Amino acid sequence: AQSVTQPDIHITVSEGASLELRCNYSYGATPYLFWYVQSPGQGLQLLLKYFSGDTLVQGIKGFEAEFKRSQSSFNLRKPSVHWSDAAEYFCAVGAGNAGKSTFGDGTTLTVKP
């Protein structure tokens, strides 16, 4: 069975500082991996995705993530955080053509001025 672990429930960073959100997955085959962002009371917006190929993927809003098969990780990074990045972030692993995803429990990001 596939699973996703986001070890950090809550992270606080100062505006302008760098950010890394951790994600570890368990999946038997080559995973499809996603990062989503969710603002309060809203649906999920896709930040970036990994299906195959280059293990460093670029997303929207200046985010990037790196797939490391040996560590079963797909960590999200941003070099300089903006106050508008404060939200909840979810990592997900997808199951091939069926497309359903298994999500982690999320990391809440707070940005200090």
Provide the minimum distance between the beta carbon of 68 and other proteins in the complex, in angstroms, as a whole number: 20
Q: Which is nearer to other proteins, 28 or 98 (CB)?
A: 98
Provide the minimum distance between the beta carbon of 86 and other proteins in the complex, in angstroms, as a whole number: 17
Which residue, 98, 90, 96, 97, is CA-closest to 34?
Answer: 90
Query: What residue ranges bind other proteins (CB under 8 A)?
Result: 4, 32, 34, 36, 41-46, 49, 51-52, 90, 92, 96-106
Q: Which is nearer to other proteins, 4 or 81 (CB)?
A: 4
Amino acid at 7: P
CA distances from 92 to 6, 14, 68, 111, 113 (A): 10, 26, 15, 23, 29
